[in-house]
Amino acid sequence: MKKYITEQSMEQSDYYLKNLENTINKISLMQFEMLTDRYVNQIAIGYDSHDSYARIQAILSVQSRLQSIRNMSPIVEDIKLYAPKENIALSAVTGLGEFDSQMINEKNLRHPSQIVYSSGKLYMTISDLSPITIDPMKETPTVILEIELSIPEIENDLVQSNIRTYSGIVILRIGDQYQFTYDSNGENQFEPFLKSETDGNSNQLQLSEERNISGKSYMVIQVAASKDNKLLLQQFIPKDVIFKQVHRRAIWFWIFTVLTFVAICFFLAYNNNTIHRPLLQMVRAFKRVEEGNLETVIHHNHQDEYRYLYEQFNWTVDSLRHLIDEQYRKTILLQTAELKQLQSQINPHFLYNSLFIVVRMIKLEKLEEAVIFVDQLAQYFRFVTKNSSDLVVLENEVQHAKNYANIQQTRFNNRVTLIFGEVPERFKPRQVPRLIIQPLIENAYIHGMEDKLDKGVLSITFELNDQQLKICVEDNGDRAEDNLARIHACLNTDDSFDKETTAIRNVDRRLKSVFGPNSGLNASLSRRYGGICICIIIEGEDLSHA
């Protein structure tokens, strides 16, 4: 606080003193400019030689300029022009008059443009004579310009600029003799010893120090303007006033701090009870729903906005639970219907061809082969027509697909080489939908191997890649690009296709329904054999640890 008051006082005092000096310099400049005015010279030299009109015009013009200088600042009391040789005195206030030698003080002429205190007034006087050679006893100036400054206005301006509770005592010195002392506390005035004057190497002096006067401690602020005008301003601030301000502000500061702290505590408590806790309760409820707990219910007993939000949340969760249950039932029914559709899609030609093969074996007396074939055929129909769960272990699904491939191999009479990979042991117990491999093998035989007279290849492999189990069925059948376009169209649309292609679409949907949208079928051209490659993709985080 002490530093703050000191800096504020120094800045304000410096501003006041600079403003006063600038005003005085402007007045002095206009005073010098008037010396070169042709009407001033017309009055000062050969006034009587001019006609009446010229004399009146000169008087009016000069008086107008004198009034403009007087009006430029309230501190100008009056400005006068003296023409001693023409016995003329012209004032901005009183107008035209006769010159009297008693009007001019010799001291004023010896200090041109400087402020001189004389007879209780402040003057700024210049003449057309040099201040060095001037001798009023021997030589009379032709023209003299004298400006009288208003002491009351200067003092009033000083008082107005220092109205503060901690102003203390302010002393203004102008020139060598004039000094004004103002005590803001109404105490007795005193004349302090002025410690510092402006030196010859500095245009401005600013000091701040402590001083003890009459047993009382003061903070002294001293600011000096240019030495030409000899302006000096001192301010004596009682230290007890400074500390009184500090003490008062400290008390208010702590009161404000305590009240602010209490208000913040109340606000935080209110905010916690009315906003934070209800929001936290809702966030936790959302997290429970996100984790799959659809039995979450939020209870709220207050009649406010959160009651409506909670009721809508409970209603939404309840509706979501019913929608999920309904969708789940529809999904189960759809899977069952698709499985039934697959089970009912027993190709009549497959049945006729199989019975024809049995008859032919019996006629050729290949009874043992016929028994094996009939047993394979029986296992096939038993698996297809079994009305148990839609899920089976992968080992049984692969065994059924291998059995179906062996039946087809008997029919194709070794025109196709069958490569059937082994299921990794760790994947054998995994649950998968029924009838997902056999439709792919059936599609390969019908659309890829049907026209192959020899050197047909059908490969079924198993591999694990990036948490994905892939079961790939590849062939080297003809018209691979046409068949691939047909499969892609089936997987991407709901249009009707032949039974084998529709079965592929059912397999894709059932895989996505059980294992998620990233699972299903992926069809492409086989890089190994040149035909079609259809891969069953089963995705799951547990596959990498299976």
pLDDT digits (tens, 9 = 90+) for 392-434: 899 999 999 999 999 888 888 778 899 999 988 888 888 998 8
220 - beta bridge partners? 209, 236
Among residues 155, 133, 161, which one has the least CA distance to residue 11? 161
Position 346 confidence tier, pLDDT thresholds 50, 70, 90:
low
Q: Residue 126's pLDDT is what?
A: 86
Please give the Cα distance from 190 to 187 (Å, whole number). Answer: 9
pLDDT in tens, 368-393: 888 988 998 888 888 887 766 678 89
User: How does 444-462 read in b/e, with b if 16+ C-beta sit within 10 Å?
Assistant: bbbbbbeebeeebbbbbbb
The mean per-residue pLDDT over the stretch 324-350 comes to: 59
pLDDT at 461 over 90: yes
Token readout for 306 is: 């959160």
Q: Residue 299's pLDDT is what?
A: 79
What are the residues whose beta carbons fall under 8 Å from the beta carbon of 334, sequence distance 6 or more? 509, 513
Query: Hey, how many other C-beta atoms are within 10 angstroms of the C-beta on 7?
Result: 12
Residues of the chain with CATH 3.30.565.10: 416-539
What percentage of residues in the chain have a pLDDT greater than 90?
Answer: 11
pTM here is 0.43
pLDDT in tens, 302-312: 777 777 888 88
The length of the chain is 546
Q: Residue 167's pLDDT is what?
A: 64
pLDDT in tens, 203-251: 444 555 677 766 677 777 777 766 666 788 777 777 776 666 667 778 8
The mean per-residue pLDDT over the stretch 1-16 comes to: 74
**CB burial class (10 A; 0-12, 13-18, 19+) of residue 477?**
buried
pLDDT in tens, 103-143: 777 766 766 667 888 888 888 888 877 554 455 446 778 88
Domain at 416-539: CATH code:
3.30.565.10
Q: Return the C-alpha torsion angle 435, 438, 444, 445, nearest 10.
A: -130
pLDDT at 474 over 90: yes
